[in-house]
Structure 1
Amino acid sequence: MKFGKEFTSQMVPEWQEAYMDYNYLKGVLKDISCFKKKNAPLPEVAATPNGSLKRRISMYRAFSGLQNRFSFKGSPDRTDNEDEEVILVSSLQQEGSQGHHQTMFLMSSEQGGEYEMVFFRRLDDEFNKVIAFYKKKVEEVKDEADVLSKQMDALIALRIMVDKPSIGMPSDQVMMDDDSTLSPGSVVPTHIRSPGGSHMEAIEEVEMTGEEILEEESTSGNRDKEKRNLMRFRPAPIEILDNVKINIDPATPISTFKNVIRTSKANSKFSKDELKKAEEQMKTAFVEFYKKLRLLKSYRLLNVLAFSKIMKKYDKTTSRKASKSYSDMLDKSDLGNSDEVNKLIERVEVTFIKHFVNGNRRKGMKHLRPQAKRETHRVTFFMGLFSGCSIALVAAIVVAVRAQHLLEHKDRDKYMNNIFPLYSLFGYIVLHMLMYGANVYYWKRFRVNYPFIFGFKQGTELGYKQVFLLASGLSVLALAASLFHLDMDMDPKTGSYETVKELIPLVLLFVILLITFCPLNILYRSSRFFFLRTAWHCLCAPLYKVTLPDFILADQLTSQVQAIRSLQFYVCYYVWGNFKTRSNTCQDSKVYKILYIVVAIIPFWSRFIQCLRRLFEEKDSMQGLNSLKYFSTIVALVTRTLYDQKRETFWKVMAASTSGITTIANTYWDLVIDWGLLQRNSKNPWLRDKLLVPHKIVYFVAIVLDIILRLVWMQLVLEFEELPHLHKKAFVAIVACLEILRRGLWNFFRLENEHLNNVGKYRASKSVPLPFNYDEDKSM
């Protein structure tokens, strides 16, 4: 792989604009090369045929090895300008703050020198851009390191307050009061920083003598020495907790209610539960901070390598020796010799291993640097196997239907009304998974950082092959079951169908639920639990703080209304219906009709409540408008369902009007707000300034498809002429599948827009809430 492609592939996607523009500089060098070729002098005709005399003589020289170890000053091959200075790099201090590097090209008078001046001018711009961004990020991590240091001081003081360790210290050094709590006045403070102290030094100094005590105990049996070591042990000052409030985000709906009811008073007692939650939050904060440091280190090294490569390419193109001078400047700059990030990385490793994994380095590094999943041929093999089996089963079902003339069977309606909805549920799920797998493939192809956007734990996100494997495996089970269940003939003796066959859909559903909730570490447990946790947050909205995965999943569920209604039908059919005769009467009951509306509006209601919570928390008026959009969708869904049940003119007019309003609102929101398109004054007319897909026609096709697919479900209200020989249940299923396809299309451009927003803000790591709030007024 060429360096340009490797350079692009290793970039932090959200920082892409802050990297050196290697391709542009490479293009400038290409212009220089073309100019030199056009203006190169014609070679003189050699007097000696079949090559020059110089080449023939060189064949008789002594061989001095594959590497040129010796150089002779009098060598005729040495060019005259080898030791001439080509560039002069200087650092200019600009008004305020950061140094500005400027390269002076000393041979601009030569032919084609203006091209090289353009190259060095752009090279300076790129270098100053990179170093300014790097310095800014270094200052940010320094400030964050100071915050984590203070958080660690509070955490260790909280550990002492809760655990009350005596660790064999003299009684006059650790005193217990009557309530058997550690007396704050009995602990000698150790949080004293030197003026030149670095950012994580306080963390390292908190438990100063842990290793020293063990080492000296093992080397000396002197009792007095052990006592002196114990006297030197100074735990973190508990007085820190006087100026600290524990800020633990509610993790359950019950704790949310407690947090609302509880008054804002200082904690008088600390529990082990609070300590455990604080430790978990600090552990997560350190992992994210370490990830940010590694990204910054990678950014620095990759840019240094890029500048080195482009200068070597310049030397090769122009036959000059300028890379040495530029490399010397690069090594002396903050980008080349800065070790602040490396020191922070080392200190974070030491701190994390010592305080969160009991000194187990292997375990600590496993948390800090989770290994990426390895692609295995097993996944590819089974994905291909299940996909082939699914295609074969579809063909077998088609052949069976045609051979047995099932479309003209007298019990066709009974089958479509009772059995088809049971299996259509699995079809909806498989189709949605296929669309998600396709999205993952294209997100990865166009470098959309979907694991970061969704908040997946590093190394646990599913690739498109894993998603396709799960989808094809489920499709094999569902298609095989439906093929076995493709029977419309009732047993004439018993007057019923086979019980085993009629229970197949219920057993299959039970197996799927069992796998989904299985606690064993099989079949991508981390992803399954992530899905279940997010689904629970959607169900319990607004009791949880709304995150992007929560409202994205709720949006997916709004496209699975028919799947949710199929689950309701399972209860109706197998509990109140007679599955042996494929009949049920519960669909005619008022309770079922009411629940038919309620279960359909659950995902829309969840999004409505999520928008209201975000409106109150973030004070964003757009969330208020978004909530109105979902409320209008709920009204349209209710009126449409009532019209489907009552078939009255009034409800038809209401359904058509409300559906039309919500269709226009949702379509506008899709294209303008969620996708960020239809911007008149953008660089790409009617699209947006930044596009990831190189072909603009893709966006216009997506716009048209979204509008058409939004209008398709209006067919259910306006009652256009249906396709001949197509059952109503099948038509509803087709419309539901088209909505799932529209949602899959929406997903790609929604996350593309989210990714570009992160890129615009250079947001490559998530912010983690910290457990402690310092009261600055009291601490001063």
Structure 2
Amino acid sequence: MKFGKEFKSQMVPEWQEAYMDYDFLKTLLKEIHIHKEKDRPSFKRPASESGLRRKLTLYRAFSGLTQRGNNNAPPVDRSDIENQVIFVHSQSGGEGNFQTFLMAADDEGGGDHETAYFRRLDSEFNKVVKFYKTKVDEVMKEAETINTQMDAFIAFRIKVDKLQIPFEDSGQIVRLASDVAASTAAMSSTAPSEANRASSRCNSMTVIEEVGSGSSSSSSSHGEGSTSSGDKPEAVKETIKPPSSIDKNQHRPRPAPLEILNHVKINTTLDTPRSTLKGFLKVPGQEDLKFNQDNLIKIEDMLKKAFVVFYHKLRLLKSYSFLNILAFSKIMKKYDKVKNYSISISLMGWFHFNLIPCLINFYCFFFLQIASRCASKTYMKMIDNSYLGNSDELSKLMERVEAAFIKHFANSNRSIGMNILRPKAKRERHRVTFSLGLLVGCTLALIVALVLIIRTRNILDHEGKDQYMNNLFPLYSLFGFLVIHMLMYAGNIYFWRRYRVNYSFIFGFKEGTELGYRQVMFVSFSIAVLALAAVLANLDMEIDKITADFKAVTELVPLGLVVFLAIILLCPFNIIYRSSRLFFLVSVFHCICAPLYKVTLPDFFLADQLTSQVQLLRSLQFYICYYGWGDFRLRKNTCQLSDVYRVSSFIIASLPYLSRLLQCLRRLFEEGDPHQGVNGLKYLSTIIAVSLRTAFTLNNNAPGWRMAAWISSAVATAFGMYWDIVMDWGLLQKNSKNKLLRDKLLIPRKSVYYVAIVLNTLLRFAWMQTVLNFQVSFMHRQTMIAVVAVLEIIRRGIWNFFRLENEHLNNVGKYRAFKTVPFPFNYEEDDCKDE
């Protein structure tokens, strides 16, 4: 794989614009090469050897004028400048804006293009350094916050352990607290001073840096109350001093671990229905510290997640630095090749006419000239001395984070701790691919068998066809809706990965547990095989001639399949993608309980999926009706005539849209974003339209209900269509450089977006079949309803890709690549300041 493609594949998707523009710099190098080839003069015999020498001196580095006014530049070896092709100047040491001066530019060979190349190269490098420095400053500030949280956590742990150990051992806890305070202060006072800024920043994490190494780190754990000060290793004993012996003029000692609890409160977040109701009613929350084991476990779990996310940030920043340095190295080597190629061609032309007199000096002169044009060495030396290449803050910080996490959250087991901090990438297993192929083959075979049985037994002309379609077809169509939706989701995952949409981060999946498109297809085709096998088992339309009744066992097949899938979905054991099932169930529960939970993207994304599965929800309603009323014994449905069923039909049809409406109101209340209010009006109009269409169907297509359904559905469709294309997809922008689209697109072919707009518009009008009661001669009414439902599922699948693409691109604009993890404590800094 070429470096350009590898470079793109290793980028953090949310930081794409902050990386060096490698492709554009390659384009500039190609322009330099083209101009040098075009402007290179034809080889002619020189008039004299002295003229050649004079000509060659024009290619030497010019060092007379560029030295003026560079008082801030570091001292440079003048003899070295004579052999350099570029000179790089920094306005303020290694952190300011860098500017490259071309020491010898040949106007006849594309000197203007070389100047443009280095101007863009400096711009890219300054952009990278600025972004990197900004992100490093952010993680350093967050490191200080984690410091404070860890101080409070250690004190909380000591307090809980003190309450649980016998009374005679409580003195050891007090001594342990004093030792922790003394050792922390001693580390601050004995920390070596450095000239650069890194020492002051890195000191923010010294509180969680382990004192000593090796066995000392495990033996001095703050989490074990039974450890006494007398059992500490010698390396630790030497650094511990009484608090009174610390020089307050040099370093003010931090408060003792037990004293810090006087300045913190439990962080209460509105993430449960109870806390949400208390916040809405303005009931004062319980912020007092309760020292018990349950709270300790909760605090430890929250800090553990914070450490994992923080360490992930550090890894991404380190990867960002490494990739950009490597990219600059690669592009400068390409520049050297272009320059040296031009020089070598010129020299070879000259030696062609002077081969005999200059044979002795050929190799020496040629290779000296090649070496003199090595600009990459000079530029990379500047990069190595810059903030990007010379800063070691991240490396030191990562070591401290690893040591603290292993000690406090992994029981001093490095292998366990590093496996949590650095989860391994999910490996694709061949057995999944093999099983998927087997299931696809079985599905196709069952479909062929089903078609042959229907044709051979002439079931379509059977007198019991209508009875079967009205009663059993809605039961089995549920599985078809589910399988098609899962296949569309698998296709979404495939294209998200192909176009590098960071769907795993956007949805908040735990790293290494997200399902790939093969796994989703495996589950969907498994359901398809079970459903088709059940349909074949239930195709017998004949009744018992003696009892004139259908066999109840046969009628229970679809119910048994639904119960089987429900058991698998709710299975608590770690089988069949447990983490994904749990994630799905939690999101479903949040949708049902809206607006009692804080709205996250997975929650409202799933609620949007449910709005396209209204027919599936109605099939579940029919399951309760068909089996609850006992109609399965006679293969009839008398429950649909009851008032309870009619009322529940309105509730089922409106429930997904009501959930989205409540989510929008929750976000409007919390964020104050007026767009959420307008979005809520969209779902309110859809609830009215769906309710009127349901009333029109239940009232035998009355003309009055028809007009009401027409008007409400047209308004809701126009509203939803605009919101899909303009707000959710971000398309139809007036001032976009891509006509009627948006500035940033992931798919190279723009026609795909125009086709998607047209398809979304056409499929939005699938509801017209309900109002027009449009029927096809060779289709049963239930089949037509199923086809319309499938079209809506396909529309939702198309919507999913472009909705997440827009979310991904907007996320890129904000340079947000990390999840926000709440901390367990609120720290009152003002109370701890010295007067």
TM-score by length of 1: 0.88
**In 2, Cα distance between the equivalents of 1:88 and 1:655?**
75
Separation in 2, partners of 1:544, 1:633: 23
* 1:397 CA drift (Å): 1.5
Structure 2 CA distance, aligned partners of 1:729 and 1:152? Answer: 62
Which residue matches 1:145? Answer: 143
Deviation digits for residues 110-164 of structure 1, max 9, x if unmatched?
5322222221111111111111111111111111111111111111112122221
Q: Which moved more, 1:194-203 or 1:486-495?
A: 194-203
Q: Per the alignment, do residues 172 and 82 of structure 1 end up closer, same or farther by CA in structure 2, a change over 3 Å counting?
A: closer
Q: Deviations over 1:714-762 (max 9, x none)?
A: 220133x421121111111111100000000000000000000110001
Q: Which residue of 1 aligns with 2:731?
A: 677
Residues 516 and 528 in structure 1, CA contact (< 8 A), matched pair in contact too: yes
Distance 1:212 1:761 in 2: 40
Q: Which of 803, 806, 820 is 1:767 aligned to?
A: 820
Q: CA deviation at 1:690?
A: 0.6
Equivalent residue for 2:761, pick from 704, 707, 725: 707
Structure 2 matches for 1:312-461, cutoff 5 A?
312-319=333-340, 320-461=373-514
Judge conservation of contact 2:216–2:236 (CA < 8 Å) in 1: no
Equivalent in the alignment of 1:52: none
**Contact 1:253-1:543 at 8 Å conserved across structures:** yes
The one-letter code of the counterpart of 2:656 is P
Matching residue of 2:252: none
Please state whether the residue corresponding to 2:597 is helix, strand or coil.
coil
Structural mapping, 1:42-61, within 5 Å: none
Cα distance change on mapping 1:236 and 1:386 into 2, 3 Å: farther
**SS where residue 199 of structure 1 aligns?**
helix
Measure how far apart 1:231 and its partner are.
8.8
- 1:572 CA drift (Å): 1.2
Per-residue CA shift, 1:408-436, capped at 9, x if unaligned?
21111110111001110000000000000
What is the SS of the residue equivalent to 2:635?
coil
Which one is further off, 157-166 or 468-477? 157-166
Distance 1:84 1:621, change over 3 A: same
1:280 aligned to which of 277, 291, 301: 301
2:262 to 242, 262, 277: 242
Aligned counterpart, 2:515: 462
- Shift in alpha-carbon separation, 1:31–1:763, aligned structure 2, 3 A: same
Q: Counterpart amino acid of 2:83?
A: E
SS at match of 1:119: helix
Structure 2 counterpart of 1:21, one-letter code: D
Is 2:624 the partner of 1:604?
Answer: no
* 2:266/2:289 contact within 8 Å kept: no
**CA 1:473 to 1:732, structure 2 compared with 1: closer, same or farther past 3 Å?**
same
Q: Which residue of 2 aligns with 1:506?
A: 559
Paired residues of 2:264 and 2:828 also in contact (CA < 8 A)? yes
Structure 2 counterpart of 1:158: 156
Aligned partners of 2:259 and 2:214: how far apart in 1?
A: 21
Task: Select the residue among 101, 105, 109 that pairs with 2:106.
Answer: 109
Contact 1:166 1:174 in 2 (8 A): no
Structure 2 gaps of 5+ residues are: 46-79, 190-198, 244-254, 341-372
In structure 2, what residue type is equivalent to 1:300?
Answer: S
Q: Cα RMSD between the aligned structures? A: 3.2
Aligned residues: 736
Query: 1:545 and 1:214, CA in 2 relative to 1: closer, same or farther beyond 3 A?
Result: closer
Residues 182, 242 of structure 2: 8 Å contact kept: no
Tell me what 2:351 maps to: none
Post-superposition CA distance 1:532-583 (Å, at most 9, x none): 1111111111121111000000110111111111111111111213313211
Q: Could you tell me whether the CA contact under 8 Å between 2:273 and 2:597 is conserved in 1?
A: yes
**1:37-87 deviations in whole A, cap 9, x for unaligned?**
334455799xxxxxxxxxxxxxxxxxxxxxxxxxxxxxxxxxxx9983111
1:313-335 CA distance string (max 9 Å, x none) = 11111113111111111111111
Partner of 1:75: none
TM-superposed CA distance for 1:254, in Å, is 3.8
Q: Secondary structure at the match of 1:245?
A: strand
Does structure 1 retain, via aligned residues, the 8 Å contact 2:216–2:232? no
Question: Percent sequence identity over matched residues?
Answer: 54
Q: Is residue 471–residue 635 contact of structure 2 (8 Å, CA) maintained in 1?
A: yes
Q: Which residue type is aligned with residue 149 of structure 2?
A: Q
> 2-side partners of 1:224 and 1:163: how far apart?
23
> Is there any run of 5+ residues in structure 1 with no aligned partner, and where?
46-80, 177-181
**Structure 2 match to 1:92:** 91
Deviation at 1:586, TM superposition (A): 0.8
Match of 2:569 in 1: 516
Q: Say whether residues 1:539 and 2:592 are aligned partners.
A: yes
Segment drifting more, 233-242 vs 643-652: 233-242
More displaced, 206-215 or 102-111? 206-215
Which amino acid is 1:31 matched to? E
Q: Is the 8 A contact 1:191 1:202 kept in 2?
A: yes
Q: CA deviation at 1:243?
A: 1.8
Once residues 480 and 521 of structure 2 are traced to their aligned partners in structure 1, the CA distance between those partners, rounded to angstroms, is 14
CA contact (8 A) 1:184 1:238 kept: yes
Q: What is the CA deviation profile of residues 158-204 of structure 1, one whole-angstrom value per residue up to 9, with x for unaligned ones?
A: 2122221799999795689xxxxx99999967764559461211122
Q: Does 1:211 align with 2:231?
A: no
> Shift of residue 689 of structure 1?
1.0
Q: Give the AA of the match of 1:200.
A: M
- The structure-2 alpha-carbon separation of the partners of 1:187 and 1:446, relative to structure 1 and needing over 3 Å to count, comes to closer
Does 2:206 correspond to 1:201? Answer: yes
Deviation at 1:650, TM superposition (A): 2.3
Q: Select between 435-444 and 105-114 the one with higher mean Cα deviation.
A: 105-114
Residue 607 of structure 1 deviates from its aligned partner by 0.8
Letter in 2 for 1:289: F
Tell me, yes or no, if the aligned pair for 1:373 and 1:459 is still in contact at 8 Å.
yes
Moved more, 399-408 or 506-515: 399-408
2:744 is aligned with what amino acid? Answer: K
Offset at residue 707 of structure 1 (A): 0.8
1:222 & 1:591 partners in 2: Cα distance?
A: 74
Aligned mates of 1:621, 1:763 — CA distance in 2? 23
Alignment of 1:511-660 (within 5 A): 511-647=564-700, 648-660=702-714
Letter in 2 for 1:381: F
Distance in 1, Cα, partners of 2:492 & 2:233: 69
Counterpart secondary structure, 2:423 = coil
1:570 is paired with a residue whose SS is helix
State the alpha-carbon separation in 2 of the partners of residues 524 and 341 from structure 1. Answer: 36
Structure 2 contact 314–394 (Cα < 8 Å) conserved: yes
Cα 1:168/1:312, change in 2 over 3 Å:
farther
The match for 1:293 among 305, 314, 319 is 314
CA deviation digits over 1:696-724, x for unaligned, max 9?
111111111111111111220133x4211
Residue 264 of structure 1 and its aligned partner are, at CA, apart by: 4.5
Query: Equivalent residue of 1:164, what SS?
Result: helix
